[in-house]
Amino acid sequence: MQHQKLRSRLSLGLIGVGIVLALAPLWTWLYGLANQALLSRQEPFLAVVPEERCPEEGKGSLASAAPANSPEDGQWPFTRLVIPKLGVDAVVVEGVDAASLRRGPGHYPGTALPGERGNVGIAGHRTTWGRWFRNLHQLEPGDIILLVTRTATYWYCVTGKWVTHAYDWSVVEPTPAPALTLTTCEPPGQAKQRLIVRAVLVAPGEPEEQP
């Protein structure tokens, strides 16, 4: 009888653990959405007209706009990241530590600001905490990525993607021309490798706004 009670308690405990594990992704997703709602209220980013493919030559970013001052880790809405093809529209925070990435995609400290010459580095989760980069593997050369600030919309055109090891910091090193690099875990749910998407700033032009 005692063994039966022990087995029963063990079974209930395992069921409880299974329920917690099953609900964990849902909890992290809701937590990420709630933080994004709070961040969106803090910063009046421009509206944009989404386009999935790179614009024709002559359209693009307002490259003369002054970049914002560097924010503090995890607290200041850095920019708004829009990937029309993937349905991504998220506020980016400063920092890529665990706490920052729970709030949204994070900007690698020390990398370029939107529109600047150099490499804007942004990391994001793929399976938890909003899962902003869960479909990053679907991006192809020619797809558009937008970085939206209070004063300008910067258009980046995807040029390639690849997989590298988890500690390959060369992917966020400065580049000669204005570029954007997105990083996430590969395969999904594991941190053995990193999926990298590289995009370049397209020709400058006037940003578009929704009516």
Q: Where are the beta strands (DSSP E) in 68-202?
A: 77-83, 88-94, 106-107, 119-123, 144-148, 153-165, 179-186, 193-201
On whether the pTM is more than 0.85, the answer is no
**pLDDT at residue 133 tops 90:** yes
**pLDDT at residue 181 tops 90:** yes
CA proximity to 199, closest of 183, 181, 173: 181
Enumerate domains of the chain plus CATH numbers.
32-201 (2.40.260.10)
**pLDDT at residue 125 tops 80:** yes
- Quote the pLDDT of residue 145: 93
Pairing of strands 77-83, 119-123: unpaired
- pLDDT per residue over 145-174, tens digit each? 999 887 788 889 999 999 999 999 999 999
- pLDDT per residue over 41-87, tens digit each? 666 565 665 677 886 654 444 444 445 455 544 456 678 999 999 99
- pLDDT per residue over 11-52, tens digit each? 545 554 444 444 456 656 566 667 666 666 666 565 665 677
